[in-house]
Structure 1
Amino acid sequence: MFPLYDVLPSRKKPYVTIALILINVVVFVYELMLNDRELLLFMYRYGLVPARYTVERVKEALGFSLLPFITHMFLHGGFWHILGNMWFLWIFGDNTEDEMGHVGYTLFYLSAGIFAALTQFVFTLHSTTPMVGASGAVSGVMGAYFVLFPYSRIVTLFPIFFFLTLVEIPAFYYLMIWFFIQVLNGLVGSYGIAWWAHIGGFVYGMIWGYILRMRRIHRYRY
């Protein structure tokens, strides 16, 4: 099920979402300009390496820095990696930004990425593989969307036997299925993808979404 767009129009221009996409693209273009050695060093310096904080020899090699908890979410490991993350951010980000406002959405996005990274960190304390990508923060956006706009519909490219067809799936069910897949992979321990970052980001987004929804209900009630 590949999402193409949602049917819920945004009221305002999603300036922050557009800016985040542009920043990620600029950083990725910079990555493409590096040779293999430079790129490896770049990933280890600005990607999140859990062992940097838990294994003494890795601490000594990389040095202590909390910056990767932020910078990791602007790095990507390949074309399809960044394309997928930015596509999902574009679909779910505009309405979420609409609801939160530009400043609130910016703070939410960055904090969701940090919380997602911390979640992955807890499950991979001694890993020496750099965690990179916006997927944790984007998962946070999706979690907030799940709570704030459950009745929206996601136009999805759906395979039926040998044919592809467009299907409108309620956002609640689409995102619930997506989240279930992340949890399943996290429990199985599929290698190479930060499943727990996706899970942590999504739950964090749900909490933010719930708080905003309660405020909205309270505002309308009074």
Structure 2
Amino acid sequence: MFIPLYDSNHLRHIRLQYVTFALIAVNVVTYFVTSLGSEEFMTATVLGLGYIPSVVHDLAELSPDLIIIPANLSYFTYSFLHGDILHLAGNMLFLWVFGDNVEDALGHFRFLAFYLLCAAAGAFLHGLIIPDSEEPLIGASGAIAGIVVAYLILYPRVKVWVLAFGRIPLRIPAWIPLLLWVGFQFTMIAIGGESEVSWAAHVGGIIAGAVLVVLLHRRDVPLLAPAEEPPSPPADAAGPPPTPEPVATQAPHNEPASPWGPR
């Protein structure tokens, strides 16, 4: 539906979104480690770390030589695996554009917990709908869906640059593309969309993200922010604000004053 490019939303409470950076790095490194190996190695990794509903629900068993972790940990590990470079790039682009501001609104630790819980919720709903499936679920889409709806709830009127239909650049309020995206996920799960995509994982992440952002956001961060604001110093910035220099009284000139406002 759209490709996010950039948002004019400044960080206000943290200096650096290092959890967002770390999650992108882990996803990218994991992809290249698994994809640069042999096909057998990649298959074994996907089966050993992916979320397989029938295995988690004790309806099937993995071969002992494929077991890497306890089955319940796959609620989280599956989200760091991707099938191809486009799958990875799409998820990481959404995380890059929207993740930093959700991290800013939640705080580092709570954002990490938020991300993992949204991923787990996506796997849970996927497994709830098809509990006997033996196909491994992989990809960060459940976690990303949680971030998308959190951004929608926190900053609906912030302007974002997007490529509509992958080719038309637009600068529009965030609520327009994000609400359409969320609605599309619910529509696809209702009509039974293409089986290559787990719409249930997306919807599970959306539901979890909507609940968790209300519970975990900083108390001084409003939901449904009314408008964009100019950047303010991060809360953890050191030192008091500079004292303004005294201004001497002068006779007025005929030159117009310079405008003052956010960039």
Q: 8 Å contact 1:10–1:98 — kept in the other structure?
A: yes
Q: 8 Å contact 2:106–2:217 — kept in the other structure?
A: no
CA deviation string 1:53-74 (max 9, x = no partner): 3464x22536662121111011
The residue that corresponds to 2:36 in the other structure is 33
Q: 8 Å contact 2:110–2:216 — kept in the other structure?
A: no
1:55-66 equivalences in 2 (<5 Å): 56=59, 58-59=60-61, 61=63, 65-66=71-72
Query: What is the CA–CA distance in structure 1 between the aligned matches of 2:144 and 2:221, rounded to whole Å?
Result: 25
The residue that corresponds to 2:178 in the other structure is 175
Flag as ranges the 4+ runs of structure 1 deviating above 6 A: none
Amino acid at match of 2:201: A
The residue that corresponds to 1:119 in the other structure is 125
Counterpart selection for 2:87 from 57, 63, 81: 81
Counterpart selection for 2:146 from 120, 124, 140: 140
TM, length-normalised to structure 1: 0.89
Query: What is the CA–CA distance in structure 2 between the aligned matches of 1:106 and 1:60, rounded to whole Å?
Result: 29
The structure with the greater share of residues assigned to helix is 1
Task: Return 5+ residue gaps in structure 2 as ranges.
Answer: 223-263
The residue that corresponds to 1:198 in the other structure is 202
Amino acid at match of 1:192: E
Amino acid at match of 2:204: G
Aligned-pair distance for 1:191?
0.7
Query: What is the CA–CA distance in structure 2 between the aligned matches of 1:138 and 1:177, rounded to whole Å?
Result: 15
Counterpart selection for 2:16 from 2, 6, 13: 13
Give the paired residue count. Answer: 214
Aligned-pair distance for 1:87?
0.3
Aligned-pair distance for 1:193?
0.8
Aligned-pair distance for 1:89?
0.4
* Shift in CA distance, 9/54, structure 1 to aligned 2, threshold 3 Å: same
Task: Return 5+ residue gaps in structure 1 as ranges.
Answer: none
TM, length-normalised to structure 2: 0.76
CA deviation string 1:156-192 (max 9, x = no partner): 12359xxx44211211121110011111111222211
Report whether the alignment pairs 1:150 with 2:156.
yes
Q: 8 Å contact 2:50–2:74 — kept in the other structure?
A: yes
Counterpart selection for 1:104 from 110, 123, 131: 110
Query: What is the CA–CA distance in structure 1 between the aligned matches of 2:21 and 2:48, rounded to whole Å?
Result: 26
